[in-house]
């Protein structure tokens, strides 16, 4: 979060979704630190939210886990048929993160 956004400047939020194999499980903080969003955000009074997807796949003991071994955001329905609407698990999670950012400090 840019320093001016922590103080008095009213800042907007940009949500930056990583690509497949670009979450922290695969590349650590490289996407968050090196994608160029932070410097751009500081110049334009923006907060960058970088939610993460963890790779997953079912196993015999965890058969309910979604098949997402590359840690991709759901653009094909692996989290359910509502993946692209507000009730979808990932969109709902991002919405909750944005609500949290909007809370008074």
**φ, ψ dihedrals at 70, nearest 5°:** -100, 0
The model's pLDDT over 54-79, given as tens digits with 9 standing for 90+, comes to 999 888 998 888 899 999 999 999 99
Domain range summary for the chain, segments of one domain joined by +: 3-102
Cross-strand pairs, 46: 12
d(CA 26, CA 60): 23
Q: Is 25 a residue whose pLDDT tops 90?
A: yes
pTM to 2 decimal places: 0.88
- pLDDT attached to residue 15: 98
d(CA 18, CA 40): 16
Q: Is 12 a residue whose pLDDT tops 90?
A: yes
């Amino acid at each position: 979060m840019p320093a001016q956004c922590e103080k008095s400047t009213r800042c907007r939020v940009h949500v930056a979704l990583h690509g497949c194999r670009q979450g922290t499980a695969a590349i650590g903080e490289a996407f968050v630190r090196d994608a160029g969003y932070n410097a751009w955000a500081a110049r334009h009074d923006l907060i960058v939210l970088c939610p993460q997807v963890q790779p997953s796949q079912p196993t015999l003991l965890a058969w309910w886990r979604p098949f997402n071994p590359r840690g991709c955001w759901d653009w094909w329905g692996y989290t359910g048929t509502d993946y692209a609407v507000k009730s979808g698990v990932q969109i709902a999670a991002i919405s909750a993160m944005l609500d949290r950012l909007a809370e008074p400090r």
